[in-house]
Structure formats: C-alpha cells, structure tokens
Amino acid sequence: MSPEERYALEKESLDDPFLLDALEGLEALPSWPTEVKNIDSLIQKRTENKAKVLWIIWRPISIAASVLLIVGFGLYYFFKGPTKPPIIPLSKIQKKPSTHIVLNPPNPESGSIFKKSKPSPSLIAQSSTEKKASIPNEPVKEDLKKYASDEAKVDFPGAVARVIPRELPDTSNTMADKALALKTSKQNAQEEEKKAPILVSRTLIRVPSASAASNNANGLLSAKTKGLSITETNGILRKSRLGSDSSKDLSEVVITMNGAPLDKNEDTTFPIPEGGIDHFHQYVLTEIKKDTDFHGSVTLEFEVLPNGKIDHIKVINSSNKKLNNKAKKILLNGPVWKGSPTGQSKTLEEEIKFP
Amino acid sequence: MQFSKTQKKRDTRDDESLLAEYRSGGSLDSLSEIYMRYTGLVFGVCLKYLSDREMAKDAVMGIFEEIIVKAKNPDIKNFRPWLYVLSRNYCLMQLRREKKISVEPLSDFMEFEEDLHPEKMELESNLKNLELCKQKLVVEQRLSIELFFERKLCYLEISENTGFSLKEVKSYIQNGKRNLKICIETLQKGE
C-alpha cells in the first residue's frame, strides 16, 4: 500500500471508529488478507451447509409424506372406490332356444305344456309291421278344432299344432339392463304361457286330404312335399311353394314327426282323457297348486293302453328330481283316458310345470 | 472487502436492499453477501480485542451466526455501524467470560457521530481560533497534527520523521484533535 493510500485510510479512520479499530487489529497480523479469504470461504460453506441440512431434514419428510398420500388414496379407493359391475361378454350368454309343439286349447291355466316329443318306438314299430292304413279322408273332429288357435289360423283339418319358440332375451352388458331384460323375458314368458295352449298329449297329426292340403298346412309338425315346403316359424306354420303349384303334388305328403318319417297309412288318432282336455287341465292345475314347496318342470312319457289305462311312465326330462314322483302321481290319479279307437297303445308325452 | 466507504462496492445492491431481501424470507446468500463485505473489518476488530488469530477467526464465524438471527430485527437502519457495535460487544463478552474483565458492552443501536474535521468548520473565524488553540497544544500533539493534516503524511512517515512510534503518533493525533475541538468550542462560546 502506498503512503498516499495509507494516509487516506488513516484519515478516514479518524471519522470511522469501526475502521480505526480494524486497522489497529490488522496491523498486528501482516498476513491478514489470506486470513480474510479463508474466513470468506468458511462463510460460504456455512451458507451451503445450512441448505444441505434443510434438504437432509426435509427429504425424508417429503418422501414419507408422499408415501402416506399414496397409501391413503389406495385405501380410500379400496374401501369406498366406485366398483363397476363385471362386464359379461355376450359370447358367454347362452341362448337356449327351445321349441315346443303345443296345442291351442282355450284354457291356458293349466300347468302343462306340450313339448316336441321324440319318435315313439312303439309307433315306428307298429308302422313297419302292421298294415298301413290309408290316409283317412274325414273332417276334423270338433274337439280338435276348438283347440285351434286363432293366431295359427288353422284351416287344415287336424292341424292343431303350432310351435312356440322360446329364446332367452338379449342381454346387455350392464347388470341393470340384464336384470331388466330377464324381468321382461319373464313377463313375456308368463304372457306366452297365458296365451300358450297347454296340451297334455303329443300331437299326432292326421294326414290331410289333398284338397285340404292345398290350403294352409298349419298344424303339421313338418311336411315335405314335392314342390312344397312347410315350415314353422314362431308358432305359425307357413306354406311356401318351391316349384310346382299343382295340388296333385300334395297327395304325396309325407308326414314326419320330429324328423322321423311315418307311414302315411298309419292311424294317427290319439287318446283323450275322460271329460276332455279342459277337464284334465283343470285337474292338473289344481294338483300343482297344492304343493308350492318345489318349483320346476317334469316331462313324462307314458303309454295309453287300449283300455285307457296308463302304463310305462318314464321321466324324460326333469328340472327338479323332487318333483318326479309328484308328476307321476298327478298323471296316475288323473282322469281315465279313452284309448285309441283302433285298439292300439299310444305313447304320449306330457310336461307338467310346477310354478 | 470494503474498508472505506469511498471504495468501490463489490455488489451493485446496497446493504439495506440485501438486508431487506433476507428479512423478506430470502435465502442466507443475501446475508452472507453483506457480511463478506465487512469480514476484514470484523476480523480486525476481533484481533484488536482478542489479540489471537484463531480466537478472532472463531469470533468472526460466531458473529455471523448471531446476525443470522438478529438481522431480522426491523429496527436496524444502518447495517455498518450496527455490525461494528455487535462485533465489539461479542469480543468484549468473550473477554468477560474468559478473563472476567468488567467491560460494559455498548448498546447495539448506539450510533457514533462522525467527528467534524477541523477543516470543515467555518473558515474565517475558526482559522484564528485554530491557530490560537494550536499554540496551546503539547509540542508532540501539535507536531503530529501539523504533519498529518497539513503535510498529509501517514502515520508511518510521521513516525519515521519524528521518531515517535506508530501508537504514539496515533495517540498524539487523536488527543490533539480532541483538545483542539474543546478549545475552539470554548472560544466560540466566549464570543
């Protein structure tokens, strides 16, 4: 430091006690510039350390707070979060169409429904061995006519059958829609049941005459003719011509019953319970109402002997095994059947539904 | 390091601005910026009173820890004189703990008035009084004052010229200055 600089400092120190004391102290340590630099670096480190200390303190706190927040959100959604109903793909929803061949009695309160029956072995056996009867050419019996449904528009004599397909309704993805659909289907089923004719026996189709066959072929389980296709759709049999329009073709009618062709000369009259089918239906309804503990349906196959008695009762299908004996009892304790006028045993089916 | 107020400052912002920034919740960097401007002065003061280099260095760091807390006081108007008083008191307290000397620390907010330089007084009337009072001074004091203020020699040069020690030169100058002041005031009152 030059004398002039020193003089300036000294002159200033006369008015500045801070400077005066500092100069007095620093004069005793010639290396004071180095010492002051070291002190400055210590102060800078001290400033950085304080920031580090704060970071060291806050870092674990911030991590702990983040973890607690995540755990809290997880617990909240675990216990109270919105839960979506499981989505059931449509492929898993099985449609179980079932077709029932039913007659159309005017009293649908009975609990029995006709079902498409399997071909009767006895019937087939009889058709192959016995003399083939000619196709009767007689008008439809009155007791059969009254069973015809207005809907089906049965003109064809003996044609009293119609098919009521049953399908499960379409279901949507959501549980609410599915429940509504099921409810609707139940209601529809109930309405159909009300409308549906309740039959006791399987329909044996009387082979119609050629002239009658030129009209609607309603009532046939299935009939295939040359150039004529008869199919059933939603309970209504429809006739459509494929080729020839000649009524002569209808003389070659082949009656099938569940796919098994029958001899056209076979007797197709069927037994009727005493008192008529209405009376039988009323009896069945009364019986099933007595026992409301179990629910389900039972399909019985039985043989009506020429004397009208019931024999060879078999359970073909049952949704509740506990109802099998009950259904058999109902059948056995029911009205006596009128056997076939031809003196042949007839195998019939009956489905009894316990609501 | 700023020894003199007239020296160029390292940072464009003044002490009050940085202090306000520190008080408003700013980082410690603002306060360290101010303090590093006066570490030399603080170190010198600590050296003067503690007479030990290591103790003086520890005292400088200790004073910094104190101002971290005390600097937040909004009553501090002027940082530089406040820091001097704080440093002086800290060193005196250190001495009091160790040597148990009865030294009363100064108030932190005591301000030192700047002594008026004789040249700043009224010229015409004061020059006569000044000459009269100079004659009344002790020879050593008069000689030291004349060499320092009139010839503008530093303490070292005065010491070399007169043979006085640096401490004696300082003492003569400070005492002579005070005596001149008292003498001039007395003459002015008499007038």
List CB contacts (< 8 A) between B80 and chain A.
Answer: 18
Domain shared by B143 and B95, yes or no: no
Q: Does A34 touch chain B (CB under 8 A)?
A: no
Residue A282 vs residues A45, A267, A329, A338, A351: alpha-carbon distances, Å: 106, 29, 15, 18, 15
- Residue B182 lies inside a defined structural domain of this protein: yes
Which of B43, B70, B99 is the endpoint of a domain? B99
- Is the full-model pTM beyond 0.80? no
Is the four-CA dihedral A42, A43, A48, A52 of positive or negative sign?
A: positive
- What is the DSSP secondary-structure string of B38-100? SHHHHHHHHHHHH--HHHHHHHHHHHHHHHHHHTT-TT---HHHHHHHHHHHHHHHHHHHHH-
List CB contacts (< 8 A) between B41 and chain A.
Answer: 18-19, 22
Distance from CA of A64 to the nearest CA of B (A): 25
Domain shared by A110 and A51, yes or no: no
Domain shared by A246 and A344, yes or no: yes
- Residue A154 lies inside a defined structural domain of this protein: yes
Domain shared by A207 and A127, yes or no: yes
- Residue A70 lies inside a defined structural domain of this protein: yes
Question: What is the number of domains present in chain A?
Answer: 2
Domain shared by A175 and A229, yes or no: yes
Residues B80, A18: contact at Cβ < 8 Å? Answer: yes
Q: What is the pLDDT of residue B27?
A: 75
Q: What is the pLDDT of residue A2?
A: 86
- Residue B20 lies inside a defined structural domain of this protein: yes
Q: Which of A67-71, A143-147, A167-171, A234-238 shows the highest mean pLDDT? A: A67-71
Domain shared by A280 and A150, yes or no: yes
Domain shared by A33 and A113, yes or no: no
- Residue B104 lies inside a defined structural domain of this protein: no
Of B29, B156, B173, the CB nearest to A6: B156
CB–CB of B40 and A42 under 8 A?
Answer: no
Residue B136's SS3 state is: helix
Q: Is the pLDDT of residue A166 over 50?
A: yes
Domain shared by A117 and A246, yes or no: yes
| CA pair distance A222, A232, nearest whole angstrom | 8
Distance from CA of A57 to the nearest CA of B (A): 17
Domain shared by A260 and A325, yes or no: yes
Domain shared by B94 and B48, yes or no: yes
- Residue B113 lies inside a defined structural domain of this protein: no
Q: Does this complex have an ipTM over 0.90?
A: no
User: In terms of residue numbers, what domain contains B53?
Assistant: 15-99
Q: How far apart are the first and last CA of chain B?
A: 46
Which of A34, A61, A80 is the endpoint of a domain? A80
- Residue A16 lies inside a defined structural domain of this protein: yes
List CB contacts (< 8 A) between A39 and chain B.
Answer: 39, 43, 57, 60-61
- Residue A241 lies inside a defined structural domain of this protein: yes
Which of A51-55, A158-162, A290-294, B79-83 shows the lowest mean pLDDT across its residues? A158-162
Give the CATH number for residue B83: 1.10.1740.10
Domain shared by B88 and B22, yes or no: yes
Provide mean pLDDT across the span A22-38. 90
Q: Does A125 touch chain B (CB under 8 A)?
A: no
Q: Which of A143-157, A203-217, B145-159 shows the highest mean pLDDT? A: B145-159
pLDDT digits (tens, 9 = 90+) for B7-53: 434 567 788 888 888 888 867 888 999 999 999 999 999 999 999 99
Residue B166's SS3 state is: helix
Question: What is the number of domains present in chain B?
Answer: 2
Q: What is the pLDDT of residue A213?
A: 40
Q: Does A51 touch chain B (CB under 8 A)?
A: yes
Q: For B148, which DSSP code?
A: I
Q: How far apart are the first and last CA of chain A?
A: 120
Q: What is the pLDDT of residue A225?
A: 39
Residue B114's SS3 state is: coil
Q: What is the pLDDT of residue A219?
A: 37
Domain shared by A15 and A128, yes or no: no
Domain shared by B32 and B94, yes or no: yes
| CA pair distance A273, A288, nearest whole angstrom | 18
Domain shared by B88 and B131, yes or no: no
User: Which pair of tokens denotes residue A114?
Assistant: 């006709």
User: In terms of residue numbers, what domain contains A54?
Assistant: 3-80
Domain shared by B51 and B87, yes or no: yes
Which of A48, A80, A112 is the endpoint of a domain? A80
Domain shared by A47 and A169, yes or no: no
Which of A59, A80, A101 is the endpoint of a domain? A80
- In which band, very low, low, confident or very high, does the pLDDT at A161 lie, cut at 50, 70 and 90? very low
- Residue A166 lies inside a defined structural domain of this protein: yes
- Residue B67 lies inside a defined structural domain of this protein: yes
- Residue B174 lies inside a defined structural domain of this protein: yes
Q: Does A43 touch chain B (CB under 8 A)?
A: yes
- Residue A86 lies inside a defined structural domain of this protein: no
Residue B18's SS3 state is: helix
- Residue A85 lies inside a defined structural domain of this protein: no
